[in-house]
Amino acid sequence: MSYPHFSSREFYEQYHYDGELGAIYYPDHTQFRVWAPTASRVWLVIYTSGHEGSGSEIPMDKDVHGTWVTELTGDRHGLYYTYKVLVDGAIHEAMDPYAKACGVNGVRGMVVDLARTNPSGWDKLIRPPLTRFVDAIIYEIHVRDMSSHPLSGIGYRGKYLGLTEKSTTGPGGVWTGPSHLVELGVTHVQLMPCFDFATIDESIGCPKEYNWGYDPLNYNIPEGSYATDPYRGEQRIMEFKEMIKALKEAGLRVNMDVVYNHTFYTRTSHLNALVPGYYYRQDVHGQFSNGSGCGNELATERSMVRKMIVDSVRYWATEYQIDGFRFDLVGLMDIPTVNAIRMALNKIDTSIMMYGEGWTGGHSPLPDHLKALKGNVRQLPGTGVYNDDLRDGLRGHVFHAERPGFVNGGVGMEESVECGIVGACEHDQVDYNQVIYTQRPWAGEPAQSINYVEAHDNLTLWDKLQRVSPDANQEVLIAMHKLCGAVILTSQGIPFLHAGMEFLRTKYGDYNSYRSPDAVNQLDWERKARYIEVFRYYQGLIALRKAHPAFRLGTTQKIQEHLRFLPVFDDHVVAYMLRDHANGDPWETIVVIFNGNGEPIEMELPKRGWVIVVDGKLAGTTVLERLAGDVVTVPPYAAIVLVDAGSYQ
């Protein structure tokens, strides 16, 4: 049987389906609807177990726009199922792409009454307040890493429920788990992928296998290895919701890392079994293209792929009350799909965040002008991307371990740092021709710039600093680290922190720890006790940012009006002034100076009379020193934040 080309208008008009798909539960019946337009026959296969035994086949009826449908009467909560399709003479059995629950290891879907999975008080749970995206401070965590250390003080180590435990302590009595997050002061927790992924055997209670989760299997189901009982399909849902509830009740919004650019399996994936060839891009030779670097890439520009992604994001935002989405390799997604997601979320809550990696992992046949790349982000209102110009300008090249940046001897990185300070927005004092990657102001508004210096992948900042400066002593390395943190947390845009960087997280030089053991990936809470002064410094920077709206200007126009760079006469120095009660700030004038030199420098200030609230040792909003004159000495590898004495309060 021949069909119109998958990307053709004819195929769209004949087979696009706008309705609900999956196992649609009602107390007295469940309707099953699957999209399989190229199949000549389809069967629903039902099982009493999620992982063993044979099933019973029920023929499905061909219905509108390529869908197949059948209905089972009675309360079917807990029934496991798959689909079998006959396509071009071959029969394939596949998981339902719209399944909301599953058995162990995600091989069979499960009918679920989601009302039974809600914790007590779930219906009264509200999103913690967020007025503007630039008010967010994002903290990236891996569920297992937060509690897997034996000294974490957490009982449910490596599990969702570990993030529900309150007032846990570690070495030296330091707060761990959610209490640590509250103490630090961040606003958003970003969960690394928590949908069902492929490479951890969920049947093992405490698996030694490890993965970050960028190997998607089932997009609408929580990962089972973080649950206490992955065999019961509803258990992982209940415990995931318990985690969300606990974090929100602690005042934290919850973002989720999502991977809609590829799947772990390709030819044998559930998607490819149901509609062979449709869900994935192909090259000119008909082979699966690999813009993800993981073996395939989803054809997001095809209408039913776009629908699947929009439906999935909408589901997480409503059923699980997720507050934001970080899109892995969003550059592989087409611009209309990303904007369709944004519009769908706006109908739910305009404060739900969207941001992602504005690049690809390899060559993709999707034309560049259609990709949601960093350079195209102005076409993505309400969506941000990571600022790699600032990241590599500040610490040094991400893929060349010994190459330095602004804080450790890199030459000509000042403009890249300034690009980050203005949130990658247009500014007449920033020479974008000197910025390392993108020679133009790529952000339309500061909220489109996610400012960071460290994330889950590549070297941690501490490991990177050691590689660039192997002969530097610990005092110097700590000073460099704190300087990086000061830049990120005082720049316009949205700051992003990697879990543990506030106590010098190390992965012992591991570049890509996605399958490395817990000993490499776990948060070592002993380091918090050992480097508590570094933690306090980051805590103070966060308190400063949250207390003073001058660091959170909401528009390009306000940045151009209120933020002016000051003249400097040394390399590796950047200084700027926030003036005129910027953004309604009670402080009239704020001066920020970054010294990336190994020697102190003197800086002339715009007038006399200043209060220092951040220096190389301490950070916050309280007075560290008062200056009567108009000259300040900035220590080596240090940030200084000053407030005019007349408006300090």
User: Hey, which bits of 11-170 come out as E strands?
Assistant: 22-26, 29-35, 41-47, 56-59, 61-62, 67-73, 80-87, 90-94, 109-110, 138-141
**CA 540 to chain centroid:** 24
Kindly give, in sequence order, each residue whose CB lies less than 8 Å from that of residue 69, ignoring residues fewer than 6 positions away.
31, 32, 33, 34, 60, 61, 63
Paired residues of 450 in beta bridges: 386, 494
**CA 462 to chain centroid:** 21
User: Hey, which bits of 477-589 come out as E strands?
Assistant: 494-498, 563-565, 573-578
What is the full DSSP assignment across 168-189?
A: -B-GGG-B-HHHHHHHHT-SEE
Candidates 257, 152, 264; CA nearest to 518 is 152
Length of the chain counted residue by residue: 649
CA atoms of 382 and 366, how far apart (whole Å):
23
Tell me the C-alpha to C-alpha distance, in Å, between residue 307 and each of 296, 331, 588, 647: 19, 18, 49, 53
Task: Report the run of H or E that residue 287 belongs to, with start and end.
Answer: none
Catalytic (active-site) positions: 328, 357
Q: DSSP assignment, residue 60?
A: P
CA atoms of 201 and 99, how far apart (whole Å):
20
**CA 300 to chain centroid:** 20
Q: What's at 524, amino acid-wise?
A: D
Alpha helices by DSSP H, 299-380:
303-319, 335-348
Q: DSSP assignment, residue 69?
A: E
For 20, phi then psi, to 5°, come to -80, 140
Candidates 570, 575, 574; CA nearest to 589 is 575
- Residues 590, 583 contacting (CB under 8 angstroms): no
CA atoms of 244 and 236, how far apart (whole Å):
12
Candidates 256, 209, 205; CA nearest to 231 is 205
CA atoms of 339 and 317, how far apart (whole Å):
16
- Count the Cβ atoms, other than its own, within 10 Å of residue 58: 16
**CA 366 to chain centroid:** 23
- What are the strands of the beta sheet with 22-26, ordered from one edge? 22-26, 29-35, 67-73, 61-62
* Mode of pairing for the β-strands spanning 494-498 and 138-141: parallel
SS3 219: strand
CA atoms of 534 and 528, how far apart (whole Å):
8
For 164, phi then psi, to 5°, come to -105, -10
For 336, phi then psi, to 5°, come to -60, -35
For 93, the token pair is 């059995």
CA atoms of 119 and 432, how far apart (whole Å):
51
Q: DSSP assignment, residue 163?
A: G
**CA 200 to chain centroid:** 21
